[in-house]
Amino acid sequence: MKINEEEKKTLIQTSLKARENAYTPYSHYKVGAALKTKSGKIYTGCNIENASYGLTICAERTAMFKAVSEGDRDFETIVIATRDGGSPCGACRQVMAEFSLEMQVILVNQEGGI
């Protein structure tokens, strides 16, 4: 499912804004995500680190878990904002696949470049 340019710009800006809320005292690698569901709602997420690193949660999963916890499971597009356009980890890819193999994934750097 493709989104139009206006929706893409909105999701990019929303993911960059979510990135500002990241808690990253260990890696200093902030990530933000904006997830648009087929209902049109946008859920945001940021990565939240923990000294026990296995308890860290990624921005992508934060956004998806927020959507699922509110009963929204039909994912359309996710924009993930990092410093350098880095791609999702294996755990996030697995959660994305669990809910939508058709979801559009857009990666952007800290300037919003795709």
Tell me the catalytic residues: 60
Residue type, 80: I
Could you give the CA distance from residue 62 to residue 68 in angstroms, rounded to a whole number? 10
DSSP calls for 36-97: EETTS-EEEEE-B--SSGGG-B-HHHHHHHHHHHTT---EEEEEEE-SB-PPPPHHHHHHHH
